[in-house]
Amino acid sequence: MLHIVNKSPLERSALDSCLAAAQPGAAVLLIEDGVYAATRGHAGEGKLRAASAHLQIYVLAPDLEARGMAQSLADGVKPIDYAGFVELVAQHRNCQSWL
C-alpha cells in the first residue's frame, strides 16, 4: 500500500505515526511540507534512513525544488514528478494520507 505524508517532520508527528504503522514493503511518498523529511542534515534524518531499509521512500521533486531543497536530497529517497505520483497511486491497492 501507499502512505502519503504532507507535514514537516519537525512540526508534526504525522511521519512518525506513518512509520510506526507502515508494514514492510509499503511505499511512503513525501509531498508538500513532508519533503523536508527527505533532506540531509535535519534532526530526524536517521529515522527516515532506518525506515528506508524496509520501506520504499519517494519524494515529490517539484515540492522539494520549490523549497530550495533539491540539492539536499537524502540517500535512499527516490525523487518523482507528478506523472510518477499518478503511477505510484495506480500501482498500489490502497492509500492512506497522514494529514
Is residue 38 within 8 Å of residue 72, measured between CB atoms?
no
Q: Is there binding between residue 1 and another protein (CB under 8 A)?
A: yes
Strand blocks (E) in 1-99 = 2-5, 27-30, 56-60, 77-80, 95-98
Per the structure block, which three cell numbers stand in for 42?
535535519
Q: What is the Rg, in whole angstroms, of the alpha carbon atoms belonging to the chain?
A: 12
Closest distance of CB 92 from another protein, Å = 10
| Binding region for another protein (CB under 8 A) out of 43-51, 60-68, 77-85, 90-98 | 90-98
Q: Could you say which of 13, 40, 82, 86 contacts another protein (CB under 8 A)?
A: 13
Which residues of this chain interact with another protein, rule CB under 8 A? 1, 13-14, 17, 20-23, 26, 93-99
